[in-house]
Amino acid sequence: MKKWKWLTILLVLTFVLIGCSNDSEGEATSDEEMGEIVPEFSLLTSLPETNQVNHEAANAMGTIWNDELGMDVSVEPIDFNVLVDRIYGDAEDYETYTVGWSGRVDRIDPDMFIYAIFHSSAAIPGGNNTTRFKSDAYDEIAEAQRTEMDESKRQELVFEAQEMLADEAPLVTLYARDLVHAYNNERFDNITVMAGEGIFNEWMPMDVEPLTDDKMLRIASTQDLDTLNPLEANSVYEWRNLRLIYDKLVRLSPSAEPEPAAAEDWEVVDDTTIDVTVRDGMTFHDGEPVTVEDVKFSFDYMIEHEIGYFISFLNPIDSVEITDDSTVRFNLTEAYAPFVNVTLAQIPILPKHIWENLLEEEGIGHPGEFANENPVGSGPFVFDGWKRGEDLRTKTFDDFYKDIAIDGYIYDLYAQDEAVMTALETKSADVNAEQFIPANIEKAQTFDFLTVEEVPDIGFQYLSFNMNKEPFDDKAFRQAIAHTIDYDTIIDVYLDSYGIKGGSGLVLNEANEFWYNPNVERPEYDIEKAKEILTEAGYTWDSDGKLRMPVK
């Protein structure tokens, strides 16, 4: 009997050991019965000298994904312009990446962050929906908030959109950084600083008052431009300069109110009809007059060639017509609440005489391919040269309709943040274009000749996914990833508390008070919670600790 008793015990132990050999939270009985190993992927992120915070956050995430979740992830620091080219290109050559949306003043209106970067229509090469997020249910809400003219009802829709984004997690905001800049108060006065933009906004070079005979403003930056073509530009670094070379119909004031620019006035005839009176007597930098023909051409041209960066703000337009020598009428397909504050405040006015026959003259297939090495606009500053990696130079346009006190500005390039700080210390730079890293804030405050300014950012830095690829097409996987980000360390350590904590769905933060939904739940840093979400969704870990896809 003892023999059979021991055999029984051995059999029981064998079954127990077999059960224990399975992943403790999975259902598969062997590696062979599990799903495929989660594919290897790269996390594209900033070079340390251009965005140390994103770089550090990406390395931390990569370590957690490899060591704690059993994935095979390589963190790939990459030049900013190369990164933007990859995520906006048609090759789909990316899986995950960290980057940011700047808080330009027109983005106080929620349409950019609710519609333009998440609507399915923008999930195309060149479009702003680089996550490739597509949802009919979300599209319906994003479209409804655009056409709702009652502000309180629109707010409800924007709140609902934020809640859906928190659930879907097409991207996860990492943080919103406080914008801290400085200027040389011995050389310049009357510096305009704007929430969301900081010191290098579109008004500052036009409003600043020189205090010496040297009237050239020197702006120090670590970020070069990638193009001078306004139909190809995709980054804030390009548009900070291009919007000063090219004019727009409307410019938003520091308090985000629309002010006449190339448009002398406008009238909202009804919800789908807006008449714009073009300012009389304007010229382009080459001396040619700015006419209603140029305005109509600019909008028609961008619509015709489906310029991805602007397409979300142009698609409400049904037609543009000239009603007299000074008036352009915009006919919309339906009501579009932010048309004046967003569309009219962004679209650059192109000189028709240069762009009209461009494709034939240059032998190219799309105007985005045009190098535009000598951009001609009608804005407050005239292009005077660009040396990639060195500087961009401008001169004040004497025939501009607004008086400008400086002779022009130079956008100087420096290799890293410390070099920018040194340029401010030695007075070879007057302002810093990008916000200080925390280490330089207190340092700048020690110099009497530097005035330090701090404003909140309505933009954000984020982690995003290419949802056309596995496993990023799985909502549960994205939700799990949101719990692998140490938000507190980012704010308390990397940013020294100069910022706002992120989370999925938080594309509108506390700084944009009216549109921010305080009820959106922020994910906490919790590796066990991430594993729990993955397990419930059918993910398993094999005998080597590798994360496996759910069995199909």
8-state DSSP, 368: G
pLDDT of residue 29: 57
Within 10 A of 185 (CB to CB), how many other CB atoms are there? 15
Name the band, by pLDDT with cuts 50, 70 and 90, for residue 262: very high
Kindly tell me if the per-residue pLDDT of 238 is higher than 70: yes
The two three-digit tokens of residue 61, written as one number: 């995430």
DSSP string, 383-446: EEEEETTTEEEEEE-TT-SS---SSEEEEEE-SSHHHHHHHHHTTS-SEESSPPPHHHHHHHTT
Kindly tell me if the per-residue pLDDT of 269 is higher than 60: yes
Share of the chain above pLDDT 90, in %: 88
pLDDT of residue 350: 98
Kindly tell me if the per-residue pLDDT of 26 is higher than 80: no
Work out the average pLDDT over 135-163: 97
At 341, the amino acid letter reads N
Work out the average pLDDT over 289-300: 98
Q: Which helix (H) or strand (E) holds 269?
A: strand 263-270
Name the band, by pLDDT with cuts 50, 70 and 90, for residue 24: very low
> Phi/psi at 342 (nearest 5 deg)?
-110, -60
pLDDT of residue 1: 43
How far is residue 433's CA from residue 199's CA, in Å, rounded to a whole number? Answer: 7
Kindly tell me if the per-residue pLDDT of 115 is higher than 70: yes
Kindly tell me if the per-residue pLDDT of 172 is higher than 50: yes
How far is residue 528's CA from residue 484's CA, in Å, rounded to a whole number? Answer: 9
Residue-averaged pLDDT of the chain: 93
Kindly tell me if the per-residue pLDDT of 236 is higher than 50: yes
Predicted confidence (pLDDT) per residue in 61-85, tens digit: 999 999 999 999 999 999 999 999 9
pTM listed for this prediction: 0.85
Name the band, by pLDDT with cuts 50, 70 and 90, for residue 543: very high
Kindly tell me if the per-residue pLDDT of 23 is higher than 60: no
CB-CB contact of 336 with 147 (8 Å): yes
Q: Which long-range contacts (CB under 8 A, 24 or more apart) does 208-211 make?
A: 208/405, 208/406, 209/405, 210/405, 210/406, 211/186, 211/187
Name the band, by pLDDT with cuts 50, 70 and 90, for residue 336: very high
Predicted confidence (pLDDT) per residue in 88-108, tens digit: 988 889 999 999 998 888 899
pLDDT of residue 161: 98
Name the band, by pLDDT with cuts 50, 70 and 90, for residue 14: very low
Place of tokens 């960290």: 98
pLDDT of residue 417: 93
Q: Which long-range contacts (CB under 8 A, 24 or more apart) does 311-315 make?
A: 311/121, 311/122, 311/127, 312/111, 312/112, 312/115, 312/116, 312/119, 312/121, 312/122, 312/127, 312/128, 313/111, 313/116, 313/342, 313/343, 313/346, 313/347, 314/343, 314/347, 315/121
Point out the least confidently predicted range of 314-318, 327-331, 508-512: 508-512
Kindly tell me if the per-residue pLDDT of 281 is higher than 70: yes
pLDDT of residue 11: 42
pLDDT of residue 263: 98
Kindly tell me if the per-residue pLDDT of 21 is higher than 60: no
CB-CB contact of 63 with 75 (8 Å): no
Give ∠ CA 141-143-148 in degrees, rounded to 5. 90
Name the band, by pLDDT with cuts 50, 70 and 90, for residue 197: very high
| Of 323, 327, 326, 307, nearest in space to 315 by CA | 307
Predicted confidence (pLDDT) per residue in 354-386, tens digit: 999 999 999 999 999 999 999 999 999 999 999
SS3 313: helix
Work out the average pLDDT over 501-530: 94
